[in-house]
Amino acid sequence: MDFRQPLLEKARWRPWEYALWVVAFALPLLVPSHALMINEIAIVALFAMSLDLILGYTGIVSLGHAAFFGFGAYTAALFAKHVMPDPTIGLVVAIALSAALGAVASVTILRGSDLTRLMVTLGTALLLLELANKLDWLTGGADGLQGVVMGPVLGVFDFDLFGRTAAWYSLSVLLLLFLLMRRLVHSPFGATLKAIRDNRLRAMAIGIPVVSRLAVIYTVAAAVAGGAGALLAQTTGFASLDVLAFDRSADVVLMLVIGGVGWLYGGIAGAIVFKLLQDTLSTVTPQYWMFWIGLILVLLVLVGRDRLLKPWTWFGARKAVKP
Amino acid sequence: MLTILFDGIAYGMLLFVLAVGLAVTLGLMNFINLAHGAFAMAGGYLTVFAMQKLGVPFLLCLPLAFLVVGAAGALLERTLYRPMYGKSHLDQVLFSIGLAFMAVAAVDYFVGSSQQNIHLPEWLRGRTELGDGALLLGMGHYRIFIIAVCTLLTVVLQLILSKTRFGSRLRAAVDDPRVAAGLGINVNVVFLLTFAVGSGLAGLGGALGAEILGLDPTFPLKYMIYFLIVVSVGGTSSITGPLLAALLLGIADVAGKYFIPKMGAFTVYLLMILILMWRPQGLFTRKGGK
């Protein structure tokens, strides 16, 4: 009779989730010297979560998610430079335009195999990179877009040099969008996405409108990624070509995979681990950070990435999965 | 006009030799190998070193690059790649991109990030011109050499594929690995050999192309997209598909850079996206293929 109980149970907020967010918001106060780092982690966590929507929940392998991140970043920077410096309005505009771009780009991912999707997502990102590079009268080309001055957040809080305002601003946006995404993936809509991921043909057979679902989730993911990009541009006051670069798309996939796909907190966990690793490793060997990242990727896949977060499976023979 | 066409064909042939191994890997084992460019880079660096340090003549370097890189490919296939075949595409992408990253950083560490040059022998440096005006055809001797070598390779590959026993085994395995295995074909060995030859060809292509494409540690990432375009647009069911796609890409790229330099690689990417939206399985695939 009460079949909804266990389903609702799954979506309920756990105590540790409240604790996590309280700690996150307290961190800029506790370790003020690392506020910039916290800001960065919040931004990439948001970016990784947006990718999780399409990769983890819907099963679309994308190597070009930086397209939307970079588009959001450039939009926010240009908006602040030419229209008005208010960050909140700039953020909303960037999200709206990224969503529009995502809606257009979603046409490209509806058909074909994994390889085709990989190619068109990669192609979209490279297309935008090439555009940003060539339209140098607008974007500053390879020098980056400089001279972006942001106004105070909500007209009250100025961005300070130590990044505390920035950290809280990014954390607030992260929390807000996280709540929306959490609601989305636990809704019946989210359940249909997982059905599409697990078996597209069967999902179609039970009457799920696969094409429109894919288009909608791709648009949402693009919007959130655009928001993350906008946060980066606004809090650093700078946008350069590397927001669109291939490395960024690859990094975000890695982050998500470290944290675990199909789980929104995976994005956050991955972002924290990735940024800390990057920070440590690049102080040791600044130039060869790429080698370590490659090694981590290879080992991660060889060991099996679902085992990373389950230390009790690391040793001993792999048991057969129960049918 | 004709010069552009000629350069485009040379460039396309080069891309074909570089990417054909990838097409077979993808078609046979359904494995997305983003580290393919690393083999090409290995071939390029091998040639540079053999020529500069050991004084090996250029012509001898080409088969050397093929053999050494092919052997390395076989070794990697046996040790690292084989466990990956059954995994999901996401895993394969992560794995091979990790390999590519490692190759880039390792070359950077051992050799340095500067651009490497190959000193071509005297007889390959000149340039012949035919006709005049709009029909002027300027042919760099090195490009003639590339076209000749690549044409020869293509013909040989096509003959092996269509005439030999190994070729028919390979085609059977590409069409349906399970049924082929059921018929007593050792698919693993077929694949090991094919992978070795494919990476060897990439090494040869890297050695040939170092002069035209440039050679620095970021090579695998820079040209990854081009190899993938060739494979995804050309389809993986034959080698004529990738060949045509490579020629198309080569001519489009050279012509695009010549006529509308402002757009750069923009035209190529746009074309690829449009083609893939129109024919998601590639331009030159047979109907009813995978």
Beta-carbon separation of B281 and A113 below 8 A? yes
A107 in contact with chain B, both atoms CB, cutoff 8 A: yes
Asked whether the beta carbons of B201 and B15 are under 8 A apart, the reply is no
Whether chain B has a CB inside 8 Å of the CB on A276: the answer is no
Q: Is the pLDDT of residue A271 over 80?
A: yes
Confidence (pLDDT) at A46: 92
What pLDDT was estimated at residue B268? 80
Q: Within 10 A of A89 (CB to CB), how many other CB atoms are there?
A: 15
Nearest CA in chain A to B27: A115
Contact B105 A294 (CB under 8 A): yes
Domains of chain A: residue spans and CATH: 15-287 (1.10.3470)
Report the chain B residue with the minimal C-alpha distance to residue A296: B98
Per-residue pLDDT at B134 exceeds 70: no
Contact between chains at A291 and B109 (C-beta distance less than 8 A): yes
Question: One-letter amino acid identity for B234?
Answer: G
Whether residue B288 has pLDDT greater than 50 = no
Q: Identify which of B104, B273, B277 has the shortest CB distance to residue A290.
A: B104
CB–CB contact B102 A291 (8 Å) = yes
Angle at B280 between CA B276 and CA B285, to 5 degrees: 110
> Is some CB atom of chain B closer than 8 A to the CB atom of A123?
yes
CA separation for the pair B66, B205 (Å, rounded): 9
CB B205 within 8 A of CB B42: no
Q: Quick check: A254 contacting B, CB < 8 Å?
A: yes
- Going by C-beta distance under 8 Å and a sequence separation of 6 or more, which residues neighbour residue A68? A50, A98, A101, A102, A105, A221, A222, A223, A225, A226, A229
Rounded to a whole number of angstroms, the distance from the CA of A131 to the nearest CA of chain B is: 7
Question: How close does chain A come to B5, measured CA to CA in Å?
Answer: 24
Q: Does A108 sit within 8 Å of B273, measured CB to CB?
A: yes
Q: Does A286 touch chain B (CB under 8 A)?
A: no
User: What average pLDDT does the structure give for chain B?
Assistant: 83
Confidence of residue A312 (pLDDT cuts 50, 70, 90): low
Task: Measure in Å the smallest separation between the Cα of B279 and chain A Cα atoms.
Answer: 8
Selected residue of A298, A300, A306, A307 to mutate for chain B interface (largest B Cβ count, 10 A):
A298
Q: Check residue A1 and give its pLDDT.
A: 52
Q: What is the pLDDT of residue A307?
A: 61
On the question of pLDDT at B167 being above 70, the answer is yes
Average pLDDT value for residue range B244-254: 87
A131 vs A124, A126, B83, B290, CA distance in Å? 11, 8, 40, 34
Confidence bin at A323 (pLDDT 50/70/90):
very low
- Would you place residue B128 in the very low, low, confident or very high pLDDT band (cuts 50, 70, 90)? confident
**Contact assessment for residue A300 and residue B86, using Cβ atoms and an 8 Å cutoff:** no
Best to test chain A binding among B93, B218, B224, B253 (most A CBs inside 10 Å): B93
Q: For chain A, give the mean pLDDT.
A: 83
Across the interface, do B269 and A127 touch by the CB < 8 Å criterion? yes
Helix/strand/coil for A237: coil
Query: Do the chains contact at B101 and A63, CB–CB below 8 Å?
Result: no
Average pLDDT, integer, range A91-113: 89
A61 → closest Cβ in B90, B109, B263: B90
B164 pLDDT exceeds 60?
Answer: yes
Over residues A183-205, the mean pLDDT reads: 88
Helix (H, G, I), strand (E, B) or coil at A315: coil
Per-residue pLDDT, B55:
78
* CB contacts, 8 Å: B97 with chain A: 250, 294, 297
Tens digits of residue pLDDT in A16-69: 888 888 888 888 788 878 888 888 899 999 999 999 999 888 888 888 899 999
DSSP assignment of A73-142 equals HHHHHHHHHHT---HHHHHHHHHHHHHHHHHHHGGGGSSS-HHHHHHHHHHHHHHHHHHHHH-HHHH-GG
Q: Number of CB pairs < 8 Å for A and B?
A: 131
Angle at CA of residue B264, ends B263 and B268, nearest 5°: 95
Q: Note the Cα A179 to chain centre separation in Å.
A: 14
**What pLDDT score was predicted for residue A227?**
92
Per the CB < 8 A criterion, the answer to whether B11 and B4 are in contact is no
Q: Which residues of B fall within a CB distance of 8 Å from A65?
A: none
Question: Which one of B32, B95, B269 has the shortest CB-CB distance to A298?
Answer: B95
pLDDT at residue number B210: 82
pLDDT digits over B74-118, tens only? 998 888 888 888 788 888 888 888 888 888 888 888 887 777 777
Adjacent-strand bridge partners of B128: B139
Share of chain A above pLDDT 70, in %: 92
Contact A294 B101 (CB under 8 A): yes
pLDDT for A228 equals: 93
Is pLDDT larger for residue A253 or for residue A1? A253
What is the pLDDT at residue A319?
45
Sort out which chain B residues have CB atoms less than 8 A from A262's CB and list them: none
Distance from CA of B196 to the nearest CA of A (A): 21
pLDDT tens digits for B154-163? Answer: 889 888 888 8
Q: Which of A13-22, B20-29, B34-43, B85-94 has the lowest mean pLDDT?
A: B20-29
Q: Cβ contact (<8 Å) for B228 and A122? A: yes
Say yes or no for a CB contact (<8 Å) between B273 and A120: yes
Best of B76, B79, B94, B275 to substitute, by most chain A Cβ atoms within 10 angstroms, is: B94
Which residues in chain A are contacts of B281 at CB distance < 8 A? Answer: 112-113, 116
Chain A residues with CB under 8 Å of B91 CB are 301, 305
> Which residue in the set B98, B109, B269 is minimally distant from A294, CB to CB?
B98
Say if the Cβ atoms of B94 and A300 lie within 8 Å.
yes
Contact criterion met (CB < 8 Å) for A108 and B264: no
- Per-residue pLDDT of B194-242, as tens digits, reads 889 889 988 988 888 887 887 888 888 888 888 888 888 887 767 788 8
Which tokens go with A60? 């679309």
ipTM score for this prediction: 0.79
Is pLDDT larger for residue B103 or for residue B58?
B103
pTM of model > 0.80: yes
How wide is the angle at C-alpha A297 spanned by C-alphas A111 and B47, nearest 5°? 95
Contact state of B97 with A250 under an 8 Å Cβ cutoff? yes
Residue B49, amino acid: F
